[in-house]
A and B are shown apart, each in its own frame.
Chain A
Amino acid sequence: MKKINNTCSTLYTPKVMATFKNPHNYGKIKNASGIGKVGNIVCGDVMWLYIKVAKNKKGQDVIKDIKFETFGCVAAISTSSIITDLVKGKTINEALKVTKDNVIESLGGLPKIKYHCSVLAVDALIEAVYDYFLKTGQKIPADLEKKHKIIKKSKDIIEERYKGWDK
């Protein structure tokens, strides 16, 4: 029989556990350029992502700093940390190309029932960028607008489903 020698080794990969144990970039950014808030408390996962945007030499928008605040399970905290690592220093255009599969791969895999945590991380980033565009009065690209609408719609559905729970 296989010997179990580390916590949750039947559920999470060593990379998930290491990330959970020592997550990067947690906390708040004061005067953030954009904040993305996703998740629902009834489901037990709430993720807030703060981004600080600055221009690079080419005049492109770059994610200069990024931090997360997450209420959630091991997977939610790990995906929060990984998304910050994946996009920090990238241009906004590059950052928006990060997918849930990139998040899962970077963690060496996630249990299927935790896939939604990788979606949450990507959604939080999209929402933070959307918020930044709104705040700076920039024209929102059609693709981003579409993604934002999908996120908002599923959020509304969940909130409707659990209406009255959170009283």
Chain B
Amino acid sequence: MKRIYFDYAATTPVDKRVLKEMEPYFSEKFGNTMSLHSFGQEAKLALDQSRQVLADLINAKPNEIIFTSSATESNNLALKGVALATRKLDSRFHGNDNAHIVISSIEHPCIMESAKWLAKNGFEITKLPVDKYGRVNPKDVERAITEKTILVSVMHASNEIGTIEPIEEIGKICRQKGVYFHTDASQSFGKIPIDVEEMNIDLLTASSHKMYGPKGAGLLYVRNGVKIEPILHGGGQENGMRSSTVNVPAIVGFAKATEICKAEMKREGVRLAKLRDKLIKGVLKIKGAKLNGDPRNRLPNNINVSFPSIEGESLIIHLDLYGIACSTGSACSSAKLEPSYVLLAIGLKPEEAHGSLRISLGRQTTEKEIGYFLKVLPKIVEKLKKMSPFKL
């Protein structure tokens, strides 16, 4: 059976061109970037060149890019790094006064959990609500900022519902108020334009494996002058901000993936948005189906829909039996049984959240695949509805 991958928001295949670029850095140019000999310098050169490519995509300077192992690590470093540096360096917080951090209520778990950890360690956290489309109101950001606020972190685009946040406006407010602004761009990096200058971004997270690069590489952009405290201590790599032997092959792959995304961004964005809209139109023909997220401010590759009378795991497993790979916000497989907090935050009822389906498209998605999906989905929904006590 031919399999169809509709889960590009979870991870992407490594592009063949990326793999080819990485290949020499495993056994041939395998040096340690900290070594002074030619082997090390070869690796160092590749690292420097990669840093330049990544910086160029977002209009940053190369020395503002810290390579990490993942977006999770970058987000941890952004929140904890800023928080701990402030506590150390800002005399306002040397007493018992708690510094304050603002996040949105639909951030990825690695932001949520980092914030929770900081709350346990004496920082104050405010979670901003979102509207029915999942958008943060910049006015709420303005109102939430107090004298003690040190950082605002709002994602660029939602991994679940694809909503693009008004980060330009939020960045502007943060700049005016003298508060650092971090954005998790894991889902948008390489897909839609980002300019850290125009958008007033002080810190930004990106991930390689979400954009056809390998797993094991991420980055944190840190604007020159922004103080962060490292989490990993050791040999002083990445300008002392992230000790660890540098994963050169993965970073070379990350850079190559970025080059490709940059060159193809416009064309690919238009192509995917067309496929996305076709898919949305087809799915909404199914009785009871409802689109989650913003119909306008939306990633070109994200579709998230709910079917209120059926459960997500059953839906994705049936799709998988047809060879189609999607994902759900139903938490039936995890230990806690509550559905996705993101879907609840945009006002969905639990049964709607349990009946959610995320379809994320990518480079290999074709019109034919969309057609096949739209043929199969109504049959499955019908079957599960017949089994369900709810007939919505």
Contact = CB atoms under 8 A, between A and B. Distances in A.
A and B associate: yes
Given A20-B317, A166-B350, A73 B333 contact: yes
A20 to B, nearest CB: 7
Interface stretch (A37-45, A51-59, A127-135): A37-45
B321 A7 contact: yes
Contacts of A167: 349
A41 B354 contact: yes
B386 interface: yes
A44 B349 CA distance: 11
B354 A44 contact: yes
- Chain B interface: which size bin? 20 to 34
A7 B317 contact: yes
A44 B309 contact: no
Interface in B297-320: 309-314, 317, 320
A42 to B, nearest CB: 4
Interface residues of A, number: 31
B232 interface: no
Contacts of B386: 26-27
A7 B317 CA distance: 7
A86 interface: no
Interface string A9-44: 001000000001101001100000000010001111
Chain B interface, DSSP helix/strand/loop, else mixed? loop
Contacts of B335: 113
Contact of A69 (B330, B350, B354, B389): B389
Nearest to A116: B337
Given A46-B389, A69-B389, A74 B314 contact: yes
A29 to B, nearest CB: 13
Nearest to A68: B387
Contacts of A21: 321
B338 interface: yes
A71 B330 contact: no
B320 A69 contact: no
Given A43-B337, A44-B311, A71-B311, 20 more contacts: A8-B317, A26-B387, A27-B387, A41-B351, A41-B354, A42-B339, A42-B350, A44-B312, A44-B332, A44-B354, A46-B389, A71-B309, A71-B351, A71-B389, A72-B314, A73-B314, A73-B330, A73-B332, A74-B313, A76-B314
Interface of A: 7-8, 11, 20-21, 23, 26-27, 37, 41-48, 68-74, 76-77, 113, 162, 165-167
